[in-house]
Amino acid sequence: MPITIAICDNEKNTREESMHMVKSQCEDCHVDLYDSGIALLAASKEYDIYILEILLPGINGIETAKLLREKQSAQLQAESMIIFITAHKEYMDAAFDVKAFHYLVKPIDEDKFKAVISRAINDCRKIKENAESHILIKNGNLYHKVFLSDIFYVESRDKKVIINSVNGAVEYYGRMQEIENILGNTFFRCHRCYIVNMKHITQYNFNTIWVKNGDAIYLAQKRYSQFVNKFMMFTNNGEPLHG
């Protein structure tokens, strides 16, 4: 499936220039253009990547992104990538709150823009490939196919491993270390009895992590610092937000 991208900017020239630069990095990407956050939200379409101006008429880019994130969370959808473009640096902290992939400050350097878009597109392709990755769990005479991207967290209880996912819970007799070795880099062993999928985390504090289905799981104190570092790297794709 092609990568889908929405470009939302109230300036026509900026929209078209951004589209040309995107197409130069990905000819087969599908790109739609919007002149406001209201128009984007009204379209009710899902995109892999959103490129948003912050100072949009009606609903600004930050509020648009918040509404997109709320919808994705409510519908247990995978989070899309959001790239902000603006002439104002003061919204950078707010961009962190909606898990922005990047924050570009106008005037946009073409090489910088292309580099960010290229990385976002490559990451999207990896996510789509990983979405097809799965494990087979044998429970009695039945085999359950569980997609890794659908897993909220894994827990260990009474010598059983329990996989909690979008489709409910599947349990089997096994060891946490064995499944930890199978799961990818999006997972973190936050407690001896829990492994969490970082893509489904909604919030956390010093001893608890909450995931999209509303469940709360333990975060071991000795693993807190490591978790925060890894989660920050995961949400920012390995580097800090910057212009």
Please report the DSSP string for 150-161 in residue order: GEEEEEEETTEE
pTM over 0.75: no
- Of the three residues 131, 164, 196, the one that is the final residue of a domain is 131
Q: How confident is the model at residue 218 (pLDDT cuts 50, 70, 90)?
A: very high
Residue 26 has pLDDT above 60, yes or no: yes
pLDDT the model gives residue 108: 86
Residues 32 and 118 in one domain: yes
Number of compact structural domains in the chain? 2
Residues 127-143 pLDDT 10s: 777 666 788 888 778 88
The answer to the question of residue 127 being in a domain is yes
CATH number at residue 212: 2.40.50.1020
Residues 153 and 52 in one domain: no
Residue 1 has pLDDT above 90, yes or no: no
Residues 30-53 pLDDT 10s: 999 999 999 999 998 999 999 999
pLDDT the model gives residue 237: 58
Pairing of strands 30-34, 49-53: unpaired
Residues 142 and 216 in one domain: yes
Q: Average per-residue pLDDT in the chain?
A: 90
The answer to the question of residue 143 being in a domain is yes
Residue 239 has pLDDT above 60, yes or no: no
pLDDT the model gives residue 162: 96
What range defines the domain where residue 72 resides? 4-131
SS3 87: coil
Return the closest-CA partner of residue 237 out of 194, 198, 180: 198
Return the closest-CA partner of residue 153 out of 127, 181, 190, 128: 190
CATH number at residue 55: 3.40.50.2300
Place of tokens 């071991």: 220
Contact between residue 30 and residue 6 where contact means Cβ atoms under 8 Å apart: no
- Of the three residues 77, 109, 131, the one that is the final residue of a domain is 131
Residues 8 and 125 in one domain: yes
- Of the three residues 101, 131, 161, the one that is the final residue of a domain is 131
Residues 114 and 149 in one domain: no
| φ and ψ of 217, to 5 deg | -125, 160
Residues 60 and 125 in one domain: yes
Residues 10 and 126 in one domain: yes
Q: What is d(CA 243, CA 241) in angstroms, rounded to the nearest whole number?
A: 7
- More confident site: 149 or 204: 204
Give the range with max mean pLDDT: 64-78, 163-177, 226-240: 163-177
Residues 8 and 101 in one domain: yes
Q: In this predicted structure, which of 52-61, 86-95, 186-195, 197-206 has the lowest mean pLDDT?
A: 86-95
Residues 9 and 124 in one domain: yes
Residue 188 has pLDDT above 80, yes or no: yes
Q: What distances in angstroms separate CA 215 from CA 16, 69, 156, 196, 220, one per listed residue?
A: 43, 19, 15, 11, 16
Which whole number is the average pLDDT over 16-42?
Answer: 94
Q: What distances in angstroms separate CA 95 from CA 53, 80, 126, 143, 243, one per listed residue?
A: 12, 14, 23, 42, 12
**Residue 61 tokens, joined:** 């880019």
In this structure, the number of other CB atoms found within 10 A of the CB of residue 93 comes to 9
Residues 105 and 13 in one domain: yes
Residue 232 has pLDDT above 50, yes or no: yes
Residues 127 and 182 in one domain: no
